[in-house]
Amino acid sequence: MESEDEFLHTYFSHVSQLCYEKAKELVEKEKEPKGSTTSWSAFLNYLQQLALAEKSYMEIGFLQNKHKSFLRKDNSLKSIYETMKNDLRKLEEQNRQSVAPNNRIQKSSKNIIQYINARINLIDLYDKIYNVGLHKQNRHNEILTQIETVIEKNSEGFTDICLTPAKAVFSLECEILEQLFRALSRLQKLEFSPSLALIHGAHTRLIAWENKIQSREIWKLGIFKNSPSPALFQWFQKLKGAVLSKFSLFFHDILAQQTTPNEIRQLCAKLQQDYYQKIITFQKKYDATYVLLLSDQQTLNSPSPNGIIVSYPPRISTSMDLVLKMIADTYSELSMDKIIYKFLSQEQHTYIIATVESTIYLIILFENKKSEKDAYISNFVVEICQNLRCTKTFACLKNTTK
């Protein structure tokens, strides 16, 4: 490997390991004497800018500082990447037209432009994920399609050996997103084995990514040894935790058959969200007859013949025909995310119905009259539905502390 190639490979290794200071020092050492304005020195300046942009990216800087107006320059990270891309194109053109063109600048500029395009694609993707969370929508398949497009669009990009470390991390980032959103799609269809395999796939890739950033400089500074991972990596862990928690509720009965009641309680307690315990606590505190998740799609994947996915108390012998009719009658309201209260005066029963996601509903039955103004009930319903849709996790992509 030639010296320039070795330098660039080391630079991208540092950046992919989040060692931004090391990357900066490496560039400084490589710079020619002050006053020199060669194409290589200009190229090195862009590498310094790229390291700063990458640091901001890993701290979820791409959803911050969107201050664009008639009198104010757009200083978003996406705009910074766009400017850098245009500047590298100019440098590439100038180098091509020079008397003695530098082939390494030519090749590297082209590859880095492809890498920046990939970053911009991911920023657009995260922006869409954030907006899905903001508007409490359930569009997992739409997001999954966009993830697949990003992967396909960039599969042949920045393949230069010097950018191998950056390519590896980019691929992991995309694959984790793909696995988790594909798992959410499979969970909607109540597919146990595919969902489990996808969550495990995302988990192993997260470990691989974490291993690549173990040597990052901030961990080596004594008092900062326990410094948290970068914000984006933490968000990925939250997303995996949210999907795993959802899986544990949807397939609670199957998982409970694999172990003892005490062990399943202990395992669920370690999850990001212990939904089953939340349902138990609510049912006991409010003396509900039952709390359950119901699928209105009778498929081979339905955990029970009456469409019940999970319930507490565990065994519900009641026919769900009446509930399914209520869902059908109030479908338009449920699709607008309204909580439906149905009081049947003859039986003195109150049915509360809410949409978790397409074809899956939260049902609560009380053997007395309940008011829509009961904040505890409505808060419980809203919180569990939103958390199961993962919309809170999507919305927390925007780091409000910055």
Read off the pLDDT of residues 289-337 as tens digits, 9 standing for 90 and up: 999 999 987 544 555 667 899 999 987 767 788 999 999 999 999 989 9
Read off the pLDDT of residues 283-299 as tens digits, 9 standing for 90 and up: 999 999 999 999 987 54
Checking if the pLDDT of 175 tops 80, the result is yes
Tokens of 156: 């042949």
Q: Which residues pair with 312 in a beta bridge?
A: 291
User: String of b and e for 169-181 (b: at least 16 CB within 10 Å)?
Assistant: bbebbbbbbbbbb
Read off the pLDDT of residues 208-227 as tens digits, 9 standing for 90 and up: 999 988 655 554 444 444 55
What crossing angle do the helices spanning 275-286 and 375-389 adopt, rounded to 10°?
170
Mean pLDDT of 186-199: 95
Spans of all domains in the chain: 3-248, 251-393
Question: What is the radius of gyration, based on Cα positions, of the chain?
Answer: 26
Just give the CATH number of 251-393: 3.30.450.240
**DSSP label at 270?**
T
pLDDT of residue 398: 83
Beta strands in 226-289 (DSSP E): none
What's the rounded Cα separation, in Å, for the pair 371 and 205? 47
Q: Which of 376, 375, 324 has the alpha carbon at shortest distance from 351?
A: 324
What's the rounded Cα separation, in Å, for the pair 112 and 102? 15
Cβ contact 388:275 at 8 Å: yes
DSSP result, 162-204: GGHHHHHHHHHHHHHHHHHHHHHHHHHTT-HHHHHHHHHHHHH
Of residues 126 and 98, more confidence is placed in 126
pLDDT of residue 61: 87
What's the rounded Cα separation, in Å, for the pair 309 and 255? 13
In this prediction the pTM is 0.91
Q: Which of 312, 357, 302 has the alpha carbon at shortest distance from 192?
A: 302
Tokens of 64: 């911050």
What's the rounded Cα separation, in Å, for the pair 254 and 257? 5
293 in helix, strand or coil? Answer: strand
Tokens of 52: 């700063």
Q: Which of 335, 336, 334 has the alpha carbon at shortest distance from 351?
A: 334
What's the rounded Cα separation, in Å, for the pair 114 and 25? 25
User: String of b and e for 88-110 (b: at least 16 CB within 10 Å)?
Assistant: beebbeebeeeeeebebbbbbbb
Cβ contact 207:258 at 8 Å: no
